[in-house]
Amino acid sequence: MLKTKELLQQLGKTRDNPKHPLEKIQILIDYIADNMENNEQDEERICEIVFAAKKNIAETIINLKEEAQVPLNDPVLRLSANDDGLGDAAAETQVDMFMLDPETTITNMLEQQIQNGIEPNPIPEELNLTDEYRAHLTQLSAANAREKLAKYRAASNLLKGKSYLYSGFERDHGAVGNDIINLHEEFPSDAENPIEDALAENKGGFFERFFRTTSREYKRFERLLEQRKNGEGSREDLKNAAVAYLVHKIPGYDGNGRPQLEDIERLTGTAKKRAMLCYKTLVACQQSSAYEGKLGIISGVAENNLRSNGEYEAFQRLRHDNSYVIHGLDQLQQSQNEQVVINEEQQAEFQTNLANDLNEGEHVGGMYDDEFSDESSIHYDDEEIDMNE
């Protein structure tokens, strides 16, 4: 199964002598090939997996440049922490392409590796082995190579034709993805579901729930965090809600910048846990904003590099070729599917216009009930009870 957290652990850190970005791209390729299951879950997760890898690799490049005090807009990507390890032109070009379209780049790399074939690992001659055992190891190595090649073909089939799908995913879900990944990194690495666990832990004790004393500030923050992790709500609203709760709980904090951790440590019970979650959320959102600005700079550098070395037009053709997979009757099916989408959109527009006509002049009101009354999740809390948490 493809798991974002598992992949990020294999890619490793992004600063302090991290793996080479090109090595990380190969780790991504091998991870997909080794862990896909040829089912619908692969299709659902592939964009998320590629997105997380791109974020890790982009942050690696950004951190390497900043640690070496190289401007982000410098045309050299800086692929290594060593002064003499900047990588050859081919490596630079592959990483430039990955920054602009990771899905197309790894698909193309996979195809090249399939065409070149997977060579069996040679058995060192110096090993003192019987001829029979050496032959056995040679056969085993050849079988492993064939298996690897089969996995590469399956991964290539999964990735083909998804360039537009990935670019749409990054456009529509990139900001949320950055926030959630950054927030996860604020918790211990062995935590499986840190956000969900923190929200559950912060529900409060029996009396707080019984008397409905949870503060409006925390209710709003909790609701917005739930929405954000589900791909809804805005980063700005979530940040404002986190700040509002911290202002509510920390004496002297006026909402400018981030509060001091020492002030949060002075809190007790559930209030302290909630304030820490708000603080971590604020840190994660601010990191996302900073990263997205830097990502724009190094992506611009990548495009300029490809234009300068004459690779840009060829890469654009690769991206176009990887936008659709059309074989024989698939082309007719695609045309039919596109016509169905057009008809559905026209029908939806008609229904919307009709509804607007029917509701014209009417006032529609309502109230959002954000109280929590799921008694199955009630638990007793021995912490000091704050009647306005």
pLDDT tens-digit map of 267-316: 998 899 999 999 999 999 999 999 999 999 999 999 999 999 999 999 99
Residues 140 and 241 in one domain: no
Q: How far, in Å, CA of 281 to CA of 175, rounded?
A: 14
Residues 91 and 147 in one domain: yes
Q: How far, in Å, CA of 267 to CA of 291, rounded?
A: 31
Residues 145 and 67 in one domain: yes
Q: Using pLDDT thresholds of 50, 70 and 90, give the confidence band for residue 167.
A: very high
Residue 134 burial (CB count, 10 A): 14
Calculate ∠ Cα 142-147-153, nearest 5°. Answer: 130
Residues 119 and 229 in one domain: no
Residues 73 and 125 in one domain: yes
The yes-or-no verdict on residue 53 having pLDDT over 80 is: yes
The larger pLDDT score, comparing residue 195 to residue 332, is at 195
Name the domain boundary from 281, 309, 337: 309
Q: How far, in Å, CA of 283 to CA of 186, rounded?
A: 8
Task: Tell whether 346 is covered by a domain.
Answer: no
What mean pLDDT comes out for the span 201-229?
73
Q: What CA dihedral angle connects 15, 16, 17 and 21, to 10 degrees?
A: 0
Q: How far, in Å, CA of 373 to CA of 203, rounded?
A: 11
The larger pLDDT score, comparing residue 298 to residue 136, is at 298
Q: Which pLDDT score, from 0 to 100, does residue 80 have?
A: 66
Residues 118 and 229 in one domain: no
| Domains in the chain, number | 2
Q: Which pLDDT score, from 0 to 100, does residue 365 have?
A: 40
Q: Which pLDDT score, from 0 to 100, does residue 101 have?
A: 97
Task: Tell whether 361 is covered by a domain.
Answer: no
Of 33-42, 64-73, 264-273, 371-380, the range with the lowest mean pLDDT is 371-380
Identify the burial level of 317 via C-beta atoms within 10 angstroms of its C-beta, where 0-12 means exposed, 13-18 middle and 19 or more buried: exposed
Residues 237 and 113 in one domain: no
Task: Tell whether 317 is covered by a domain.
Answer: no
Q: Which pLDDT score, from 0 to 100, does residue 358 have?
A: 44
Q: How far, in Å, CA of 318 to CA of 146, rounded?
A: 27
| Per-residue pLDDT tens digits for 83-111 | 444 457 788 899 999 999 999 999 999 99
Task: Tell whether 134 is covered by a domain.
Answer: yes
Average pLDDT in the chain: 82
What is the separation, in whole angstroms, between the first and last Cα of the chain?
A: 40
Residue 296 belongs to domain spanning = 187-309
Q: Which pLDDT score, from 0 to 100, does residue 368 have?
A: 31
| Per-residue pLDDT tens digits for 370-382 | 433 343 333 333 3
Name the domain boundary from 101, 126, 161: 161
Percentage above 90 pLDDT, the chain:
57
Q: Which residues of 105-133 are buried (b: 16+ CB within 10 A; e: fewer)?
A: bbbbbbbebeeeebebeebeeeeeeeeee
8 A C-beta contact, residue 10 and residue 31: yes
Q: Using pLDDT thresholds of 50, 70 and 90, give the confidence band for residue 265.
A: very high
Closest CA to 238 of 162, 312, 190, 183: 183
8 A C-beta contact, residue 26 and residue 43: no
Residues 267 and 150 in one domain: no
Q: Using pLDDT thresholds of 50, 70 and 90, give the confidence band for residue 153.
A: very high
Task: Tell whether 207 is covered by a domain.
Answer: yes
Residues 78 and 191 in one domain: no
Q: How far, in Å, CA of 159 to CA of 25, rounded?
A: 14
Q: Which pLDDT score, from 0 to 100, does residue 325 have?
A: 64
Eight-state DSSP code of residue 344: H
Residues 105 and 57 in one domain: yes
Residues 96 and 191 in one domain: no
Q: What CA dihedral angle connects 11, 14, 20 and 21, to 10 degrees?
A: 80
Of 21-30, 168-177, 329-338, the range with the lowest mean pLDDT is 329-338
Of 31-40, 101-110, 129-138, 269-278, the range with the lowest mean pLDDT is 129-138
Name the domain boundary from 264, 279, 309: 309
Q: Which pLDDT score, from 0 to 100, does residue 382 have?
A: 36
| Per-residue pLDDT tens digits for 335-379 | 445 454 445 555 555 445 544 544 544 443 433 334 333 433 333
Q: How far, in Å, CA of 22 to CA of 361, rounded?
A: 60
Orientation angle between helical segments 4-11 and 40-67, nearest 10 degrees: 30
What mean pLDDT comes out for the span 137-163?
91
What is the dihedral sign for C-alpha 182, 185, 186, 192?
positive
What mean pLDDT comes out for the span 55-78?
90
Of 128-142, 161-175, 228-242, 316-330, the range with the lowest mean pLDDT is 316-330
Report in angstroms the alpha-carbon separations of 385 from 29, 220, 268, 278, 380: 51, 20, 9, 20, 11
Q: Using pLDDT thresholds of 50, 70 and 90, give the confidence band for residue 383.
A: very low
Residues 151 and 200 in one domain: no
Task: Tell whether 64 is covered by a domain.
Answer: yes
Task: Tell whether 101 is covered by a domain.
Answer: yes
The larger pLDDT score, comparing residue 206 to residue 19, is at 19
Task: Tell whether 372 is covered by a domain.
Answer: no
What mean pLDDT comes out for the span 49-74?
94
